[in-house]
Structure 1
Amino acid sequence: MPLNVPILLTWMRIVAIPLLVAVYYLPAGWLGAHERDLLATGIFMAAAFTDWADGYLARKLNQTSAFGAFLDPVADKLMVAAALLILVQLDRTDAIVAVIIIGREITISALREWMAKIGASKSVAVSMLGKIKTTAQMMAIPLLLYQAPLLGFDTLQLGNWLIWIAALLTLWSMGYYLRMAWPEIARHSGD
């Protein structure tokens, strides 16, 4: 396993997941509700920044690796899934949103793995639609974690609009990836 700055940042994102969850399980007197939400938002946003930073540094420092390419999306999916489960538990978003987003991530990850196994991974390469979906998610989740008014905006309402947009884009992008992979799926369905 190579160890370089981009991979270290990815590992930091993975370590941040239990910290994010733990914030909501601290004893009642340690943090007020707003401080808890602020800390969780900060942890999530720092993790989101490391997602951008590890990709940028891997390209800039020429430290890309197969392990890093594997670990980065795993870290992203785990962080988003943990945050969504917290938000459902806090009743800040609907369970159906979490099921759509997490279910799509599992489905597309399995599809990508299978497509790589049959040598057709280019047909499910990351698309612009997937990037827009990810952007909507990464904007929505901090707003939902924060939950308090910010600069005159109702972050809970804005976050819920964005997370529903992300859920719709999630379904659309899943359909796109499945459509792109369908010729290979049909060709190899008897294997």
Structure 2
Amino acid sequence: MNLPNQITTARVLMIPVFMVLMLIPFSAGQFEISGTALPYTHFAGAVLFIIAAATDWLDGYFARKYNLVSTFGKFLDPLADKLLVTAALLSLIELQIVPAWMGIVILSREFAVTGMRLVAASDGMVIAASGLAKWKTVFQMLALAVLLLHNVPFAAWNIPTGMIFMWAAVVLTIVSGVDYFVKNRHVFKGSM
């Protein structure tokens, strides 16, 4: 297994640990910043999420730089990304930090675009990530990281930055999803 695939596999293996830290009610204490309480376990889970999200860039960097792109990596990398985002969203919904409808919008778009890519792949076509999709990912990861930290990085200013990022992620999720389907509607022609 090459280095990028090892990094991606490590990202997948971080997900259950992340879920345990976020959802199992350990009584490890908490710290408070500007009136916002952050359990130590949630802090550890957020740091693990940030590390896992950063490995997405890292494995891609090594795969491109050293020409280590593999079929396994092409399969596992997007799967790892979706599993990580799903785990974070479900944790935040369970903790009643993010409304369930936001998670449904984001996950529905991910499943729909993945399905479209599978249909395209069966016909030998590749659908690359659009610029809008890349911005969607940036805002999703920012929103999830800040919300997993209970908005503590911005608590002193009393601005709901995590939810602002989440709203931006939801809007970009919808816009990029529509963009994918409009630009790639040819994928479904002849199959309907």
TM-score between the two structures when normalised by the length of structure 1? 0.90
Q: Matches of residues 49-88 of structure 1 in structure 2 within 5 Å?
A: 49-88=54-93
Q: Unpaired runs of 5+ in structure 2?
A: 31-37
Kept in 2: contact 1:148–1:154 (CA 8 A): no
Q: Which residue of 2 aligns with 1:24?
A: 22
Give a deviation string over 1:96-138, Cα, whole Å, max 9, x none: 11001111111111110011102232xx321000000000001
Give a deviation string over 1:68-95, Cα, whole Å, max 9, x none: 0111010000000010000011111111
Q: Which amino acid aligns with 1:4?
A: N
Matched residue of 1:92: which SS? coil
Q: 2:190 aligns with which of 171, 187, 190?
A: 187
Percentage of identical aligned residues:
34
Kept in 2: contact 1:88–1:95 (CA 8 A): yes
Kept in 1: contact 2:28–2:39 (CA 8 A): no
CA distance in 2, matches of 1:7, 1:35: 31
CA distance in 1, matches of 2:76, 2:26: 35
**Mapped pair 1:90 → 2:88:** no
Q: Which residue of 2 aligns with 1:13?
A: 11
Q: Could you tell which deviates more after superposition, 142-151 or 167-176?
A: 142-151
Matched residue of 2:152: which SS? coil
Cα deviation for residue 153 of structure 1 reads 4.1
Q: 1:141 aligns with which of 141, 144, 159?
A: 144
Q: Normalized per residue, which structure has more strand?
A: 2
CA distance in 2, matches of 1:116, 1:103: 20
Q: 1:101 to 1:27 in 2, by over 3 A?
A: closer
Q: 1:28 to 1:180 in 2, by over 3 A?
A: same
Q: 1:106 aligns with which of 103, 107, 111?
A: 111
Structure 1 runs of 4+ with >6 Å offset: none
Kept in 1: contact 2:93–2:103 (CA 8 A): yes
Matched residue of 1:24: which SS? helix
Q: Which amino acid aligns with 2:118?
A: E
Q: 1:161 aligns with which of 144, 148, 164?
A: 164
Q: Unpaired runs of 5+ in structure 1?
A: none
**Mapped pair 1:120 → 2:118:** no
- Number of residue pairs aligned between Structure 1 and Structure 2: 184
